[in-house]
């Protein structure tokens, strides 16, 4: 039985390594998030798990793509929020379409930027409203920059 387990481990060394990297990334991110007082540490943990790939190079590429997608989505979300008045549900749906359609096209061409339409929707639909939309977008990008530099995705709200 021990010999079979050893053979199985030898055959699945790469898979076990990836499993270990994902687990360590999630647990370390949780620990850092907890220690620095993140109010919603689960976002940081999810980000760490999502961007952990089979190789370090793949993880760095995923993290960079996520950061670029966040910046593009935040900028476009601000533009859509400011350019398309949306005082009611129907006009909000129109503004959301303006925000999402071009970014969905971007994602179709560059799947690594899949966070761009999500970020635009967060900026447009978030509680900040048009008056604080630039600050909300900058906060979102700053959180993503923290993820890029420190492996966390959200910081404690001010």
Determine, yes or no, domain membership for 66.
Answer: yes
Name the nearest CA neighbour of 84 among 65, 72, 71, 98: 98
Helix axes 115-125, 89-109, angle to 10 degrees: 160
Q: Give a yes or no: residue 89 inside a domain.
A: yes
Residue 156 lies in a domain: no
CA distance 13 to 43: 29
Sign (positive/negative) of CA torsion 117, 28, 150, 52?
Answer: negative
Q: Is the pLDDT of residue 131 over 70?
A: no
For residue 151, pLDDT beyond 50: no
Position 67 in a domain: yes
Output 98 or 136, whichever has higher pLDDT.
98
In a domain, 94, yes or no: yes
Q: Which residue has the tokens 């560059």?
A: 110
Q: How far is CA 58 from the centre of its chain?
A: 15
**Gap between the Cα atoms of 42 and 52, Å rounded:** 15
Confidence of residue 154 (pLDDT cuts 50, 70, 90): very low
0.85 surpassed by pTM:
no
For 11, residues 6+ apart whose C-beta sits below 8 A from its C-beta are: none
Q: Is residue 132 scored above 80 in pLDDT?
A: no
For the chain, give the longest Cα–Cα distance: 68
Q: Which domain holds residue 15?
A: 2-150
Percent of the chain topping pLDDT 90: 35
Question: What's the token pair of residue 38?
Answer: 């993140």
DSSP H stretches of helix in the chain: 2-11, 13-36, 41-51, 56-83, 89-109, 115-125, 133-150
Q: In the prediction, which pLDDT does 68 show?
A: 94
Residue 131 lies inside a defined structural domain of this protein: yes
pLDDT at res. 153: 40
Helix-helix angle 133-150:115-125, to 10 degrees = 140
55 found inside a domain: yes
Asked whether residue 113 is domain-assigned, the answer is yes
**Span 21-54, pLDDT tens digits:** 888 988 998 999 889 987 777 777 877 877 776 6
**How many domains is the chain partitioned into structurally?**
1
């Amino acid at each position: 039985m021990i010999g079979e387990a050893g053979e199985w481990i030898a055959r699945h060394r790469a898979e076990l390594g990836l499993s270990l990297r994902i687990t360590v990334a999630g647990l370390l991110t949780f620990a850092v998030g907890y220690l620095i007082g993140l109010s919603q540490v689960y976002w940081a943990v999810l980000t760490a798990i999502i961007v952990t790939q089979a190789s370090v190079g793949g993880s760095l590429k995923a993290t960079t793509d996520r950061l670029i997608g966040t910046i593009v989505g935040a900028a476009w979300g601000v533009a859509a929020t400011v350019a398309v008045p949306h005082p009611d549900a129907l006009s909000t749906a129109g503004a959301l379409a303006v925000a999402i359609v071009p970014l969905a096209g971007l994602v179709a061409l560059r799947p690594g930027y899949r966070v761009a339409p999500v970020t635009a929707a967060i900026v447009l639909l978030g509680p900040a409203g048009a008056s604080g939309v630039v600050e909300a977008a900058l906060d979102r990008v700053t959180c993503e920059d923290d993820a890029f530099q420190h492996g966390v995705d959200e910081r404690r709200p001010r």
